[in-house]
């Protein structure tokens, strides 16, 4: 192998190659610098506004400000629904981390029930991780103090002050005001993301119907934070708009009088001003403590309400209804006059049993033949024969037209959601539900408020008010006025002009005279007139739950409780210048004249004379099961702890709660009978 050949370097070529590579490198660096300059120019000039906004967002956090919910007041300005200060624990899942890392330690500081944890987990799974979620809505002052000491241990968990809804009168207005409850996913879809900071929404009653007005508008605060996200100072804010306050037409004292007059009986009642349609009082009994639902009712309490045979959660005035019985006879009589089939002085001879031509089955008057009967007597003595014959001659088509004209078969328009429109018997209604034809006997039954009839107490009160005020079918309403701000004046809510039920004052006067004779002329409501310093007009009624067998009638008071007839009454007072109209339905009450009419008298006395009724002794055959109640709170939102009862206070309370013995027959007890009275008939 020979020696390697020595290669000589070309210095000029290497220098040229170096210069080429250096030029390329320099060009690359230059292009990079130009690109970097353009990038900085883009950041600093072209997209300055965008990045400035992002920077500001990192420095400034928006904290929602929840508005105070509007107050609800009675007609005299007394508070029926207000707000008390409270604290809740909110958790932001994204910042707090996994539940297992903080929940066990937090549970040692704040008492968390399994329902609180379960509700939080459900909301966490259904919402975004950066949205604060309530873990517990009512935190005690002691728990607030304990959490404040260890606050630094729980990032993403905050103690938030807010206003909690409170109902000072609990079950007294449960079916009127209703209650607010915690917002669920369905509610949030309806409300929109702009209201995501809210925790409660109206669920029933006026709280639901006027939700948008009571809710107000959410505001926000601009909070400057440090690099760790801790708040430093407030740099701006948009104030929240408080909800509107509502002033009801309902009177607290009359509402209490109505409940007291019922005693332990179940049922419903409406009192309204016939001149304006304002509801003066309205109850559905039994009621329930609405405070139980504000922050979530426990399973035990909810089950106790659901299992109660008296159905305290059922709003009988709005959702209920049943046969009106004889309480619609004044309006049916008016239809007979306006249709031209009858004149006020026209008489029919009541034999006690009405027969449809060509049929052997008779429709009986429970109290026998009444002889010659005109309109006024038919109302005061509740003569079924008169209305059997009138309905048959009128025919179901015309009958249906007049009853709808009087407001039956349609919602009254009261400011409560879900109102039942009821049923007026008609062939069209039956055709939709049955393949059977309409029978003439069904028309006869409709003439005394039985059969397929379904009327609500609100409809009966509205129709009675129209008779009292001269023929105007006014709209019942609960809210009289609103104000948008504490310093703002009250604004009356406008009402539409009411339709007329008749244009013949003579016909209406004849019906009014028959209703006055019902009470002051020896009619079926005569017992309630004793000692009254004012004139009343009314009509008793009884809606049967079971039919007679052959010629045998049942005494409702001897029937099992659940089979007793529905006791009804409608009326107004003073009859010469009506300012209050009532409609009353007592479930399992027996007869209208003996059960519902005395309740009406007590309501009239409370409103016109300021005389509050005495508590009614408990019926030993029907004692309401106990209902759950929420722990009371004071104006500062703190739980009220009852003082321990002493022997003296216990004895006094027992004496007060004990029912008073019944008065002897010779003692005058106002609305109560002073001597044994003949039993009224089932259709009265």
Residues marked active site are found at 326
* Packed helices 141-149 and 99-109: angle between N→C axes, nearest 10 degrees: 130
The total number of residues written for the chain in this structure: 684
Residue in this structure with the two tokens 């703002």, named with its chain if needed: 488
354 bridge partner residues: 363
Inter-CA distances, 335 with 61, 405, 475, Å = 69, 10, 21
249/515 Cα distance (integer angstroms): 27
DSSP 46: I
Half-sphere exposure of 352 (CA within 13 A, CB side): 6
For residue 286, whether the previous peptide bond is cis, meaning omega lies within 30 degrees of 0, is yes
CA distances from 412 to 333, 334, 420, 555, 622 (A): 22, 20, 9, 34, 33
Of 62, 338, 423, 408, residue with least CA distance to 222: 62
Cβ-in-10-Å burial (0-12, 13-18, 19+) of 5 comes to exposed
**Residue 672: half-sphere exposure toward Cβ, Cα within 13 Å:** 14
**Strand, coil or helix: 432:** helix
Q: What is the DSSP letter of 171?
A: G
3-state secondary structure of 271: strand
Q: Return d(Cα 42, Cα 506) in angstroms, integer.
A: 89
CA torsion 490-496-502-508 (nearest 10°) is: -10
Cβ partners under 8 Å of residue 586, min gap 6:
262, 265, 266, 267, 566, 567, 568, 595, 596, 599
Q: Nearest CA to 534 among 608, 429, 483, 476?
A: 608
Q: What backbone phi and psi angles, to 5 degrees, belong to 428?
A: -65, -45
**CA separation for the pair 657, 635 (Å, rounded):** 28
Residue in the structure block whose two tokens are 């938030």? 160
Kind of pairing between the strands at 157-166 and 348-350:
unpaired
Q: Is 347 in contact with 374 (CB distance < 8 Å)?
A: yes
CA angle 358, 384, 535 (to 5 degrees): 160
Point out which residues pair with 585 in neighbouring strands.
268, 568
Question: For residue 460, which phi and psi values (nearest 5 degrees)?
Answer: -65, -40
Of the candidates 352, 349, 341, 354, the one whose C-alpha atom is nearest the C-alpha of residue 373 is 349
| CA dist 77 → 214, 249, 251 (Å) | 17, 10, 9
What are the structure tokens assigned to 281, written together?
């009082």
Q: Which residue has the tokens 């509801």?
A: 279
């Amino acid at each position: 192998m020979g020696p390697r050949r020595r290669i000589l370097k070309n210095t000029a070529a290497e220098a040229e190659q170096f210069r080429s590579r250096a030029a390329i490198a320099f060009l690359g660096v230059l292009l990079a610098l130009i690109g970097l300059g353009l990038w900085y120019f883009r950041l600093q000039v072209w997209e300055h506004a965008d990045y400035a906004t992002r920077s500001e967002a990192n420095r400034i956090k928006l904290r929602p400000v929840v508005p105070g919910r509007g107050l609800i007041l009675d007609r005299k300005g007394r508070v029926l629904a207000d707000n008390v200060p409270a604290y809740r624990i909110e958790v932001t899942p994204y910042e707090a981390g996994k539940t297992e890392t903080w929940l066990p330690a937090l549970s040692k500081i704040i008492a968390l029930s399994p329902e609180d944890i379960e509700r939080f987990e459900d909301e966490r799974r259904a919402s975004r991780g950066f949205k604060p979620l309530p873990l517990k809505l009512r935190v005690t002052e002691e728990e607030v103090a304990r959490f404040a000491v260890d606050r630094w241990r729980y990032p993403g968990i905050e103690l938030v002050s807010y206003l909690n809804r409170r109902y000072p009168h609990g079950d007294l207005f449960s079916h009127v005001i209703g209650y607010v409850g915690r917002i669920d996913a369905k509610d949030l879809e309806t409300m929109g993301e702009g209201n995501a900071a809210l925790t409660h929404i109206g669920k029933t009653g006026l709280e639901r119907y006027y939700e948008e007005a009571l809710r107000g508008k959410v505001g926000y605060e601009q909070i400057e934070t440090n690099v760790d996200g801790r708040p430093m100072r407030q740099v701006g804010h948009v104030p929240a708009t408080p909800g509107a306050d509502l002033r009801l037409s309902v009177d607290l004292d009359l509402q209490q009088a109505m409940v007291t007059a019922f005693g332990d009986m179940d049922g419903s009642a409406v009192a309204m001003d016939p001149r304006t349609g304002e509801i003066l009082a309205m109850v559905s009994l039994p009621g329930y403590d609405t405070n139980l639902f504000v922050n979530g009712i426990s399973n035990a309490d909810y089950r106790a309400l659901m299992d109660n045979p008296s159905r305290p959660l059922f709003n009988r005035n709005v959702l209920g209804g049943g046969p009106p019985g004889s309480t619609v006879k004044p309006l049916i009589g008016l239809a007979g006059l306006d249709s031209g089939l009858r004149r006020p002085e026209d008489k029919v001879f009541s034999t006690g049993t009405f027969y449809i031509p060509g049929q052997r089955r008779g429709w009986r008057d429970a109290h026998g033949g009444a002889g010659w009967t005109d309109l006024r007597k038919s109302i005061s003595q509740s003569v079924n024969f008169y209305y059997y014959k009138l309905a048959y001659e009128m025919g179901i088509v015309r009958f249906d037209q007049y009853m709808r004209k009087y407001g039956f078969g349609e919602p009254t328009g009261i400011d409560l959601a879900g109102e039942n429109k009821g049923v007026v018997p008609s062939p069209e209604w039956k055709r939709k539900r049955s393949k059977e034809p309409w029978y003439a006997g069904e028309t006869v039954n409709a003439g005394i408020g039985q059969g397929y009839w379904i009327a609500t107490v609100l409809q009966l009160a509205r129709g009675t008010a129209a008779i009292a005020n001269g023929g105007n079918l006014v709209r019942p309403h609960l809210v009289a006025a609103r104000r948008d701000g504490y310093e703002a004046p009250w604004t009356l809510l406008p009402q539409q002009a009411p339709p007329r039920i008749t244009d013949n004052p003579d016909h209406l006067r004849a019906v009014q005279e028959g209703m006055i004779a019902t009470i002051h002329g020896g009619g079926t409501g005569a017992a309630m007139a004793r000692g009254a310093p004012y004139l009343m007009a009314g009509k008793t009624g009884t809606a049967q739950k079971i039919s007679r067998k052959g010629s045998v009638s049942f005494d409702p008071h001897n029937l099992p409780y659940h089979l007793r007839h529905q006791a009804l009454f409608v009326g107004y007072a003073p009859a010469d210048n009506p300012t209050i109209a009532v409609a009353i339905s007592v479930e399992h009450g027996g007869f209208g004249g003996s059960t519902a009419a005395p309740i009406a008298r007590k309501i009239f006395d409370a409103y016109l004379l300021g005389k509050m009724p005495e508590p009614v002794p408990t019926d030993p055959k029907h004692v309401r099961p106990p209902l759950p109640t929420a722990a009371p709170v004071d104006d500062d939102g703190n739980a009220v702890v009852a003082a321990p009862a002493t022997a003296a206070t216990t004895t006094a309370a027992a004496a007060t709660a004990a029912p008073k013995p019944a008065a002897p027959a010779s003692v005058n007890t106002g609305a109560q009978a002073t001597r044994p009275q003949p039993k009224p008939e089932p259709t009265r």
